[in-house]
Amino acid sequence: MNRKQLRKIFSDTYYTRLSGTPEELKTAEYLAECCRAYGAKAWLEPFDVDMADIESASLTADGVSIPCKGYRLSGCGSVTAPFAYLPSLDPASLAQVRGKIVMIDGYLGIFAYKDIAEAGAAGFITYDGNVHYKDSDIDQRTLRPYVSNGVKTLGVNINAKDAAKLVRQAPAEVTISIQQKEYVSQSHNVVAEIPGCSDEWIVFTAHYDTTSLSLGPWDNMSGCVGLLGIMEALSKEAPLRYGLRFIFCGSEESGLLGSKEYAAKHESELEKVALNINLDMIGCTMGKFIAVVSAEEKLVDFIKYYCSIEGWGIQARLGVYSSDSTPFADKGVPALSFARIATPNQATIHNRYDTMAVMSMEQMQKDIEFLAGFSMTMANAVKCPVGREMPEKIKTELDEYLGRKRKE
């Protein structure tokens, strides 16, 4: 894939692609056409996603308005209560939140939400952005159904600068008001196949949706372009010993919904999947290349040996990656994620700064060439050598990541 072709794909998909929106569907159809151009059979698999349109949302502190965005799927209404900032969710802190609107640091995960809800919080506030950035952007967040588990509490998201002001202000009380329309929409997985000489498959994944503030070339159109590059390279050698299945996952940013849907819907077929290779963020100008392996530790060693032979710098480790490899690993499929990760002062995600300015077409070509070579080695193996026994360490991390077990 030459640089002109790379730039065209990035240019054609240079817009926000939120879960369940027409823009996400437009991208899915575009990617399917790209796959067909390389001779692959491609189709869309729809699945339902919970959605909401915020009609109005407000936050006031002692009567002073603070810019905010209401959490989608957090319900409707208004609540006024004392304010409490919780930098820690330890038992002593949680014992003091009943009847209060609480502000926490970071994302509202399953156990964080469970803790504040069970402690009797009247509402919640989160924040994002950076106090050192000039912008005052606020991400549009969702109280995900698997997080709320049917227990809805009104919540808003604000900018980091306003969060700091709020803590300094120490208001006596705050008010959250939200009106929203909730409904069910559809997201899509794009599936493409190039059959092999056996009935077993190597499955490649990458997500194509974005968050609300991002145009998403790095996170994660780069991964999708990487899959297309692998498809182009390996289709020229087809049929290989293993079939090649490419899944462009929808709604990853909403909690890996596309890959979870695929793994659940096709669970009976996963015994024939020898390996899942996931791409999530490659091709940035600066940054280290990593591999996170959710499989037997021998695969970590193999990747290191392979990279040594190829003269390719990498940091490989055993673990669970926050991406579409995780639902496959959870079903017992050996899985790994490749990524090129920059430092935050070079490139960041989930905000307005994920733009083409952080990308390098030269690096994209190099990353694709490496990934195609590695994929060829696995897909044309007489027998893919990766065992299906999942280490206990990975099983524990999967339980923790997927909210089945609290991290110790």
Over residues 174-183, the pLDDT tens digits come to 999 999 999 9
Whether 337 contacts 278, CB under 8 Å = yes
Question: Is residue 343 very low, low, confident or very high in pLDDT (cuts 50, 70, 90)?
Answer: very high
> Ramachandran region of residue 227, left (φ > 0), alpha (ψ -120 to 50) or beta?
alpha
Question: Is residue 163 very low, low, confident or very high in pLDDT (cuts 50, 70, 90)?
Answer: very high
pLDDT tens column, 252-269: 999 999 999 999 999 999
- Tell me the C-alpha distance between 391 and 155, whole Å: 38
pLDDT tens column, 231-250: 999 999 999 999 999 999 99
- The residue whose two tokens read 């793994």 is 263
Query: Looking at residues 18-33, what average pLDDT do you find?
Result: 98
Query: Looking at residues 72-83, what average pLDDT do you find?
Result: 98
Distances (CA, A) of 376 to 259, 282, 384: 23, 19, 11
β-bridge pairing 77-86 and 173-194: antiparallel
- The residue whose two tokens read 């790209």 is 34
Mean pLDDT of the chain: 97
- Tell me the C-alpha distance between 340 and 359, whole Å: 11
pTM above 0.85, yes or no: yes
Task: Read off the tokens for 278.
Answer: 């996931």
Q: Residues 77, 112, 139, 149: is their CA dihedral positive or negative?
A: negative
Nearest CA among 55, 92, 50 for reference residue 70: 55
pLDDT tens column, 99-132: 999 999 988 999 999 999 999 999 999 999 999 9
The pLDDT score that the predictor gives to residue 218 is: 98
Per-residue pLDDT at 306 exceeds 90: yes
pLDDT tens column, 31-62: 999 999 999 999 999 999 999 999 999 999 99
Whether 50 contacts 184, CB under 8 Å = yes
> Ramachandran region of residue 250, left (φ > 0), alpha (ψ -120 to 50) or beta?
beta
Specify the DSSP class assigned to residue 232: H
- Tell me the C-alpha distance between 352 and 324, whole Å: 23
Per-residue pLDDT at 190 exceeds 90: yes
DSSP three-state, residue 385 = coil
Whether 200 contacts 57, CB under 8 Å = no
Task: Delineate the domains of the chain, giving CATH numbers in brackets.
Answer: 3-50+186-401 (3.40.630.10), 63-171 (3.50.30.30)
Beta carbons within 8 Å of 281's beta carbon, 6+ residues apart: 218, 219, 220, 222, 223, 339, 340, 341, 349
The pLDDT score that the predictor gives to residue 408 is: 79
Per-residue pLDDT at 227 exceeds 90: yes
Per-residue pLDDT at 300 exceeds 90: yes
Question: Is residue 137 very low, low, confident or very high in pLDDT (cuts 50, 70, 90)?
Answer: very high
Residue 390 φ then ψ, to 5°: -85, 125
Question: Is residue 1 very low, low, confident or very high in pLDDT (cuts 50, 70, 90)?
Answer: very high
